[in-house]
Chains A and B, each alone.
Chain A
C-alpha cells in the first residue's frame, strides 16, 4: 500500500492496526493507552544494590532467552556497555533470541554484528545503525526486520508498549550504591542522560552500569534509585575521548561558511526571528556555523534567543554564558564544554527524550521550536530527506531528532552541499524517506536556495528580503549535470528494516540490496 510520501509498504507489515504514513499531525487528538511495567517490590530496606557482575545482575532480574534489552547512546562511539552486556548475556548466561532496543547504535558496536550472524540477536530497534551492524542487517542476516525510530518516536513506542523492555541497562558516569545516576562527576562523563529516562520508567528491570561509584545520595539524579534493581561497577563504561570531543569547532571551510551565512539570512528574513525566538541546530559543519552568523543578526537587531534545545555543544553554551540565549534544554551533549556546563551553568537544563520530541505526549519541546537547521544525506524534489541509507542502499545513519524537530518547528531549514564527491545530494527520489517533505520548509545549498511550495508565506518573506531562490528541480538538474544521472538501485523483495514515522505509522522500508553487475539488464 502506497503511503503519503509515495512509498510502497508491504501488506505483511500492516497488521495489528499498523498504518502507513498519512501526513503530518495525522494522530492529533487520538487517545493512546500507555503500557505499564511489571516491577519488583523492594520493601525491606537495602543497604546497597551493588552486585558482583553483569551476569549476576541479569540473573537477579530473571534474564532469559527471547528478552528485550534496552540501551542509551550518550557514550556515543566511546560506549563499552552494549558490547559488555551482550557478551555477558550470550557468552556467560547462554541466552539466545535477544532483541536490542537502543536509542542509537554506532561503530562502537561492531561486535554485535557477530551475534546477529550467529542468530543470538534476532531483533534491533534503534535510531542509528552503522558500521558492520549496518552491513549485516542490510545483507538480510537479522532474523526480523530492524525497526528504525526517531528520538521522539522511541519514547512514544516505549510508553505505548510497542516495545516492551525487559531489562534496561543504564550506562552511568556516576552512580551511588542504590542507583541514583548522573552524567557528570565521574571519569567517563556524558552530561545529559535524557534518552535513558523513559527506559528507566517503563522497563520491568533496570540495571545501572557505572565506573564511578559515589556517595549516596547522587543528586540531582538523571535516573533515580526508585527505578533501579541492581548496580554493577565495572572498570570502564567507555572511552572518554570518543564520548565527547574536546570542543566542537566551527568549520573554516569556505563552502560551509557561505551556506551557513545563507541560513542565517533566511532565518533573519522570517517573522519568527524576533525577541525570544527558539532554535535548534545540528552539529554538522554548516549547521553549527549558522550559530556564528545568527549571532551577528541578533546583535544587529538587538534581540536575544529565548531558548535552544537539542544535542548541545560548546558554541551554544558560549551563547548562554554571554547572555544571548535565555535557556538551554539538553537531551544529549556532544563536547566537553556542553558536558561540563549542564546543571552547572545557570539555565542549562536536562530533559528526557519524551520531553524533547515525543509526538504522542501533551506537548514536547520541539512543538515550540521556531527554527531548526539540519543536514541531509539526500533530499529529493518532494523535499523528502534521507539521513539513514547510503547511496549504495546500505544502512549507515540515523534519523535521530531530524523528523521530530522538522515536524515541530515553524521553519525547518536543510543545509547541505549540492554534491558530495560524485553523489547528488539533491536528487529525484531519496533512497529512504526518513523525514517527510511536508515537514521541510527551506533548502540551502552551495548552488542556491529552494523553498517548499507548501510554504508560500516563506517564499514571500524571502522575496521581500531580496534573497534569491529557485525551484528545487533546478538544483537537482544542476547536480545531475555535474555528476551524471545515477542508475536506480536494484532491490530484492526482502525487507531488512522498517522506518517508522515518529507517530508510529510506516514511512518507508529498506530492502535487501541486489548485487550489482556491470552488465546491462
Chain B
C-alpha cells in the first residue's frame, strides 16, 4: 500500500501505542519511543516493520509512541494508521487481512 497522507491511530494510554504514518520518498524511516524500550524495543521494531511489510508499505515515515502495548495492539494500530492514510478505513476494512 502507498502512504498518501499523514494518518494516526491509537492513544497514549497505558498499554496502548500511538502510531503515526506520513508519506516518505525512499524506504521506511522508523522513530520509536517506548516505556518498555530496554526490554522490548527491538521486538516492537520488528513487529512494526513486519506489519508494514505484510501491508505492502515500502515508503513511509513511521512514528510509534508505545506505552507498553502488547504485540497484537501494536499490529492493530499500525494497520489502522496505514488504512487511514490510504482512505481505506471508511468501509469494508480488511481487518487483520494483511497482518496475520
| Residues of chain A at the chain B interface (Cβ within 8 Å) | 391-393, 421-423, 482-484, 486-487, 489-490, 513, 516, 518, 520
Contacts and interface: CB of A to CB of B under 8 A. Distances in A.
A482 B39 CA distance: 15
Interface centre among B35, B45, B67 (most CB of A within 10 A): B35
Contacts of B40: 422, 483-484, 486-487
9 contacts: A391-B38, A392-B38, A482-B70, A484-B71, A486-B39, A487-B42, A489-B38, A490-B38, A516-B38
A421 B14 contact: yes
B15 interface: yes
Interface in B50-95: 67-71
Contacts of B15: 421-422
A280 to B, nearest CB: 30
Contacts of B14: 421
Interface in B27-44: 32, 35-43
A423 B38 CA distance: 11
Contacts of A516: 37-38, 41
A422 B38 contact: no
A516 B41 CA distance: 8
Contact of B39 (A489, A518, A520): A489
B68 A393 contact: no
A490 B41 CA distance: 13
Contact of B32 (A421, A490, A513, A518): A518
Interface footprint category on B = 10 to 19
A423 B42 contact: no
A400 B85 CA distance: 51
B68 A423 contact: yes
B29 to A, nearest CB: 13
A393 B41 CA distance: 14
B70 A487 contact: no
B41 A422 contact: no
Contacts of B68: 421-423
A513 B37 CA distance: 12
Nearest to A421: B68
Contacts of A518: 32, 41-42, 45
Contacts of A487: 38-43
A392 B40 CA distance: 10
Contacts of A484: 40, 43, 71
B41 A391 contact: no
B45 to A, nearest CB: 5
Nearest to B74: A422
A374 B32 CA distance: 35
Contact of B38 (A393, A421, A482): A393
A520 B41 CA distance: 11
Contacts of B69: 422
A422 B42 contact: no
Nearest to B30: A518
Interface centre among A391, A392, A421, A483 (most CB of B within 10 A): A421
A391 B34 CA distance: 12
A422 B43 CA distance: 12
The list of the 4 closest CB pairs from A to B, nearest first, reads: A421-B68, A486-B39, A422-B68, A392-B38
Given A392-B37, A422-B15, 4 more contacts: A391-B36, A392-B38, A484-B40, A487-B41
A288 B16 CA distance: 28
Contacts of A513: 38
B66 to A, nearest CB: 8
B42 A520 contact: yes
Contact of B36 (A421, A482, A490, A520): A421
Nearest to B15: A421
A483 B70 contact: yes
A420 to B, nearest CB: 8
B42 A391 contact: no
Interface centre among B32, B40, B67 (most CB of A within 10 A): B40
